[in-house]
């Protein structure tokens, strides 16, 4: 078993080396095939390991494999060591599975790009880094993947680097991520200072053993780590990079900025569940940030006109959902949504790519419409994605989103406030997705004649990927049927909440969460007077709340149809009535401008002031001032240097006579 765990990340690395060194000499077919095959190889290995994991007793589902020591010196130890547990397994399968499909899609999508091998080298490098992130058995190695995916994101966003906007976006992504990484780095130092190790196992064991006394410390650590998560997973206040990241090729948006990399923050929080549950304050922060981001990004998505940007804001919003679930103390729900989201958001992005492919790379939905006629496969699969993300049964999003909304109320840290945020966001999600889908695929065609002439369905390699992802997006939800529904349908025990049960060894059970929280609150003075013990599974309440959500979502979709198909002018009219709100939303609440005014410009001004003001004027002034002072003093003595030999000789003679006179006196 151990023997091939290391092959999972190694295979994509091999692909990188092949495509980076020989890529330009290989035929395109081979170069693309290599890239896809290595990812597929990893997928097969990941599934094999998963099967092996399921075969083990639930309490022992974990495989360690230490490869070699890494930075170990002066009492600090860290190794390149891998770990495969249910959480890693889910992530590995999502990353390689969805990743493989996106690789295959890219074969067609990138077919005409001159830098074809480079693209696949980057994609494989990303897969490698992401696998390191999820397979790491210590924080430091996780950080390798963490920065590695950031790098690949930078490279791939700026893949068409000739475009200024693309290279700007890449740089912005990297730098904003680095701000998050700064927090992550500090968090790791804090962990080592307190626990003397960075291995998950060592750290969590200590926290679990003594939650009461550690709370204050762990709260600090968790908040620092969460700064990292806000950067990587595009949460308030560091979400600004993700919408711009849409400058990258669409498969990149699907793989990195929807399905995998941006979920790394959620993964990290879930991985550190013991620590977060030991820090109720941090958990509250996570939930609040998540809830706010979910709502906030959804409102922006309402008015965007770029097909990819709508999806980008939707991604931010969905990530907010995941954090909200984690913050409510139900990590399994967050991870479950992570998985279903990977399917339907990859599907939506790839569908958008297919639309752009047909529309000659136009992304403005105001120039689309009625595309269902020309792109039936894309249209139908896009509808599957829309229904899934809107939470319409039986598509996967229904199960995962319902789980989250229920958890935000019933979880150990749940609250009505979070539930309200969740439901409102669900309605908004359904509405903007309906707006997008109706505007693109239905109604009157609004594209130019030129574009209309070129409209065509994507090649089979792309279409098949869409179909496969649509199947995933439809069925993935059945992995985790809520107990209430299972009970209603008299499903067998092993069908009930199968995914949650599988994850439990990695992210804990409800009882464990309550236990940890009680210990933390009891031992600290953070001020949680009364801890919500969570609501019991109350079928009536659950169905009632589910009904509210569903009704809102369905209503939103119908409203979308009414506004954008039946009465196409309504949206514009509404915007004209509320110009201030509309403009604020369209400009994303002016956060980019705010950062530019508060951080970027002052930073540059400070640099300039330090350079031209301090370095050149003050320091150089002192240095050159000393030189000038020396020159002025020496000018006094210049008159003695006439340059005539005889003057010097006379001086020597006079001096000699003087000395002799003194000696003879």
As a whole number of Å, the end-to-end CA separation of the chain is 104
What is the C-alpha radius of gyration for the chain, rounded to an integer number of angstroms?
A: 31
Of 243, 262, 237, 356, the closest CA to residue 310 belongs to: 243
CB of 344 to another protein, least distance (A): 31
Query: CA 322 to CA 230: how far, in whole Å?
Result: 12
Minimum distance, C-beta of residue 19 to another protein, in the bound complex (Å): 12
For residue 262, whether the previous peptide bond is cis, meaning omega lies within 30 degrees of 0, is: no
Q: How far is the CB of 278 from another protein (least distance, A)?
A: 11
- DSSP code of residue 496: B
Q: How far is the CB of 55 from another protein (least distance, A)?
A: 16
Is residue 535 within 8 A of residue 329, CB to CB? The reply is: no
Helix (H, G, I), strand (E, B) or coil at 84: strand
- Residue 64: is it exposed, middle or buried by C-beta count within 10 angstroms (0-12/13-18/19+)? middle
For another protein, the closer CB: 489 or 650? 650
Are 228 and 180 a contacting pair, CB within 8 Å?
Answer: yes
Query: What is the rounded CA–CA span in Å between residue 393 and residue 631?
Result: 87
Q: Which is nearer to another protein, 65 or 561 (CB)?
A: 65
Q: Give 481's strand partners.
A: 496
Would you say 182 or 582 has its CB closer to another protein? 182
- The distance of Cα 249 from the centroid of its chain, to the nearest Å, equals 17
Beta bridge partners of 326: none
| Separation CA 212–CA 517 (nearest Å) | 9
Query: By C-alpha distance, which of 352, 344, 342, 347 is closest to 307?
Result: 352
Residue 69's DSSP bridge partners are: 79
Cβ contact 304:433 at 8 Å: no
β-pair partners for 136: 82
Exposure string of 532-568, with b = 16+ CB inside 10 Å and e = fewer, is bebeeeeeeebeebbeebbebbbebbebbbebbbeee
Min. distance of Cβ 607 from another protein in angstroms?
4
By C-beta, is 154 or 296 nearer to another protein?
154
Nearer residue to another protein within complex by CB, 186 or 420: 186
Question: Which helix (H) or strand (E) element contains residue 631?
Answer: helix 620-638
When the beta carbons of 1 and 488 are compared against another protein, the nearer one is 1
Question: Which is closer to another protein, CB of 227 or CB of 557?
Answer: 227
Question: Is the CB of 5 or the CB of 473 nearer to another protein?
Answer: 5
- The residues, ordered by sequence, that sit 6+ positions from 401 with a Cβ below 8 Å of its Cβ are 321, 337, 391, 426, 549
In angstroms, give the least distance from the CB of 335 to another protein. 16
Nearer to another protein by Cβ, of 184 and 313: the residue is 184
Cβ proximity to another protein: between 200 and 267 the closer is 200
Q: How would you classify the pairing of strands 63-69 and 79-84?
A: antiparallel
Smallest distance from the beta carbon of 2 to another protein, in angstroms? 9
Do residues 291 and 417 lie in contact, with contact meaning Cβ atoms separated by under 8 Å? yes
Closer to another protein by Cβ: residue 172 or 439 = 172
Side-chain half-sphere CA neighbours of 560 within 13 A? 27
We find the least distance from the C-beta atom of residue 509 to another protein, in angstroms, to be 7
Cis-peptide into 267, omega within 30 deg = no
Buried (b) or exposed (e) across 109-128, using 16+ Cβ within 10 A?
bbeeeeebbbbbbbbbbbbb
Check residue 459 and report its DSSP letter: P
Please identify, using beta-carbon distances, which residue of 158 and 477 lies nearer to another protein.
Answer: 158
In the complex with another protein, which residue's Cβ is closer, 180 or 370?
Answer: 180
Alpha helices in 75-163 (DSSP H): 86-109, 116-135, 139-157
The string of DSSP codes covering 290-320 is HHHHHHHHHHHHTT--BHHHHHHHHHHHHHH
Nearer to another protein, 275 or 300 (CB): 275
| 572 versus 634: smaller Cβ distance to another protein | 634
């Amino acid at each position: 078993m151990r023997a091939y765990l290391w092959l999972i990340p190694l295979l994509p690395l091999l692909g990188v080396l092949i495509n980076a060194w020989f890529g330009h000499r290989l035929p395109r077919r081979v170069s693309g095939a290599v890239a896809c095959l290595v990812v597929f190889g990893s997928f097969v290995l990941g599934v094999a390991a998963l099967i092996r994991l399921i075969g083990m007793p639930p309490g022992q589902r974990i495989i360690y494999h230490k490869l070699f020591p890494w930075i170990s010196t002066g009492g600090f130890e860290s190794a390149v060591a891998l770990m495969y547990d249910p959480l890693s397994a889910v992530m590995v399968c999502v990353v390689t599975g969805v990743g493989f499909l996106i690789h295959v899609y890219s074969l067609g999508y990138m077919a005409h790009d001159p830098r074809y091998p480079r693209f696949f080298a980057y994609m494989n490098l990303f897969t490698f880094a992401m696998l390191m992130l999820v397979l790491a058995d210590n924080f430091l190695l996780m950080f390798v993947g963490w920065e590695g995916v950031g790098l690949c994101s930078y490279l791939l966003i700026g893949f068409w680097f000739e475009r200024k906007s693309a290279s700007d976006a890449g740089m912005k992504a990297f730098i904003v991520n680095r701000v998050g990484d700064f927090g992550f780095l500090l968090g790791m130092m804090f962990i080592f200072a307190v626990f003397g190790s960075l291995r998950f196992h060592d750290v969590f064991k200590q926290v679990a053993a003594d939650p009461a006394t550690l709370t204050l410390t762990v709260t600090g650590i968790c908040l620092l780590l969460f700064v990292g998560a806000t950067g990587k997973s595009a949460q308030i206040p560091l979400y600004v990079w993700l919408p711009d990241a849409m400058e990258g090729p669409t498969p990149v948006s699907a793989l990195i900025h929807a399905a995998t990399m941006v979920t790394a923050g959620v993964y990290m929080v879930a991985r550190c569940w013991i620590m977060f549950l030991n820090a109720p304050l941090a958990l509250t922060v996570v939930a609040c940030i998540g809830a706010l981001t979910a709502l906030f990004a959804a409102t922006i998505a309402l008015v965007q006109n770029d097909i990819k940007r709508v999806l980008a804001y939707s991604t931010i919003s969905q990530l907010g959902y995941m954090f909200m679930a984690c913050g409510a103390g139900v990590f399994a729900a967050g991870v479950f949504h992570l998985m279903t989201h990977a399917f339907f958001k990859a599907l939506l992005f790839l569908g958008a790519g297919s639309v752009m492919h047909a529309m000659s790379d136009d992304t403005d939905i105001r120039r689309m419409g009625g595309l269902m006629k020309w792109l039936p496969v894309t249209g139908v699969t896009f509808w599957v994605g829309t229904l899934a993300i809107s939470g319409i049964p039986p598509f996967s999003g229904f199960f995962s989103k319902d789980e989250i909304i229920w958890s935000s109320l019933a979880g150990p840290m749940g609250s009505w406030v979070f539930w309200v945020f969740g439901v409102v966001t669900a309605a908004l999600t359904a509405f903007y997705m309906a707006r997008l889908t109706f505007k693109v695929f239905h109604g009157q065609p609004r594209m130019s004649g030129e574009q209309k002439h070129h409209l065509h369905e994507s090649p089979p390699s792309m279409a098949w990927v869409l179909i496969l992802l649509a199947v995933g997006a439809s069925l993935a939800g059945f992995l985790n049927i809520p107990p209430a529904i299972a009970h209603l349908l008299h499903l067998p025990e092993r069908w009930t909440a199968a995914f949650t049960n599988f994850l439990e060894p990695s992210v804990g059970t409800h009882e464990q969460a309550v236990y940890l929280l009680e210990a933390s609150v009891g031992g600290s003075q953070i001020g949680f007077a009364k801890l919500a013990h969570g609501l019991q599974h109350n079928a009536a309440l659950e169905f009632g709340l589910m009904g509210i959500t569903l009704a809102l979502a369905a209503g939103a979709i119908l409203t979308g149809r009414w506004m954008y198909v039946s009465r196409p002018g309504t949206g514009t009219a509404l915007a004209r009535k509320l110009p201030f709100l509309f403009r604020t939303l369209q400009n994303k609440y002016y956060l980019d401008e705010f950062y530019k005014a508060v951080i970027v410009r002052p930073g540059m001004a400070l640099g300039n002031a330090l350079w031209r003001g301090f370095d050149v004027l003050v320091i150089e002034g002192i240095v050159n001032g000393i030189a000038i002072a020396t020159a002025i003093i020496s000018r006094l003595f210049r008159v003695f240097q006439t340059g005539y030999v005889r003057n010097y000789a006379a001086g020597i003679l006079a001096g000699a006579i003087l000395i002799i006179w003194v000696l003879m006196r």
